Amino acid sequence: MTSLVWISGASAGIGAALAATVPFPEARVIDLSRRGGTVEHFPVDLSDPADWVRVERYFEAELAGFAGERVVFVHNAGTVVPIGPADAVDAEAYTRAVLLNSAAPQVLGRAFLRATAKLTCEKHLVMLSSGAASTAYPGWSAYNAGKAAVDHWVRTVGAEQPPVRPADVERGAGRPRVGEVERGAGGLGISRGGRGELEDDPAVRGEGEPDRAVRGGGEPDRAVRGELLVGCRVVAVAPGVVDTAMQGEIRAVDERAFPAVGRFRELKESGALVSPEQAALGIWSLFERELPNGSVLDLRKLPA
């Protein structure tokens, strides 16, 4: 095994297509979902916070002593259900949707970053986004808000990452001071402290005591302690409107619950939907591109 790949929601749709088209030879592919599909399955309900803890422990256990070339987590799981005005839908179903769409990506993403922090192989975290992150569709409040949260989380966490190439670490780029700006892979400039004005702080310049250079008042920064760090490439990608079972659910909804339903019916009738396989290949193609960390992308708008 040279690659370890986790895909959430790989039992059907885009997730199943991603699992079937993993481009890495000798990859171990694991589906994080309730039902399971055609690959190795770790059963979880990602709308249940108790199962987030199980996933975090699973990441940690599987990555202990990992010596392969790359680790990947593609978070694909999400739901548009319930569809309707926020004040009219079922409260329990709405809560599950908020947990799955908004909270689970952030919590599981953090867990993956934490579990891979000391690995020096390639590390990739891909979050599935949607055009709904920037377009307000009445009837989709939990879905719209969840995808918007994913996009901004990716921008923020991407800016927090050290350089992503092991070669950069070997040259010493993996020992940045807190607040130091480095150039990593893909030409991305990363401010370790997140604010340029911190460069005037003696602790940031390395003139203070190392054990006092602390992020958030907690554990001393690992780079300050002299550990070599290789960052994880974190991106969000909207695959377009894909011909999945979820789209069938959308088209079946009454226009009073989802006023834009006519547009999605027309896309199906005109043959404008993307197949899950096309979407999956587009997502995997991102691994061949030099992308700034924290990129939020749309497959329909990528340059050739």
Could you give the percent of the chain with pLDDT greater than 90?
77
CB 97 within 8 A of CB 142: yes
CA distances from 53 to 46, 104, 221 (A): 10, 11, 24
Instruction: Give Dmax over CA atoms of the chain in angstroms.
Output: 66
What pLDDT sits at residue 227? 63
90 pLDDT higher than 70: yes
The two tokens of residue 34 are 């309730």
127 pLDDT higher than 60: yes
pTM over 0.85: no
Q: Mean pLDDT across the stretch 47-75?
A: 97
What pLDDT sits at residue 189? 31
155: Cα within 13 Å, side-chain hemisphere: 9
Tens digits of per-residue pLDDT, 164-196? 875 554 444 433 333 333 333 333 332 333 333
Q: Mean pLDDT across the stretch 217-236?
A: 67
DSSP β-bridge partners for residue 5: 29, 72
Residues 6+ apart with CB under 8 A from 207: none
Q: How far is CA 172 from the centre of its chain?
A: 28
What pLDDT sits at residue 74? 99
Q: How many helices (H) and strands (E) does the chain have?
A: 10, 9
DSSP β-bridge partners for residue 182: 190
What does the mean pLDDT of the chain come to?
85
The model's confidence at residue 304, banded by pLDDT at 50, 70 and 90, is confident
What pLDDT sits at residue 164? 86
Q: How far is CA 93 from the centre of its chain?
A: 23
Q: Which residue has the tokens 């409040």?
A: 141
CA distance 285 to 300: 13
73 pLDDT higher than 70: yes
The model's confidence at residue 232, banded by pLDDT at 50, 70 and 90, is very high
Could you give the percent of the chain with pLDDT greater than 70?
80
Q: Which residue has the tokens 């992150």?
A: 133
The model's confidence at residue 248, banded by pLDDT at 50, 70 and 90, is very high
The model's confidence at residue 1, banded by pLDDT at 50, 70 and 90, is confident
Q: Mean pLDDT across the stretch 286-293?
A: 96
What pLDDT sits at residue 196? 33
Other Cβ atoms less than 10 A from the Cβ of 296: the count is 18
Q: Mean pLDDT across the stretch 151-167?
A: 90
222 pLDDT higher than 90: no
Q: List helix spans (H) across the chain.
A: 13-20, 49-63, 91-98, 104-116, 141-160, 166-170, 202-205, 245-251, 261-269, 276-285
End-to-end CA distance of the chain: 32
Q: What single DSSP character describes residue 9? A: T
The two tokens of residue 181 are 């700006």
What pLDDT sits at residue 229? 86
What pLDDT sits at residue 158? 98
What pLDDT sits at residue 246? 93
| C-alpha gyration radius of the chain | 20
Number of residues that this document lists for the chain: 304
267 pLDDT higher than 60: yes
CB 280 within 8 A of CB 14: yes
The two tokens of residue 241 are 């409107």
CA distance 274 to 151: 22
Per-residue burial over 3-38, b = 16 or more CB atoms within 10 Å of its CB, e = otherwise: bbbbbbbbbebbbbbbbeebebeebbbbbbbeeebe
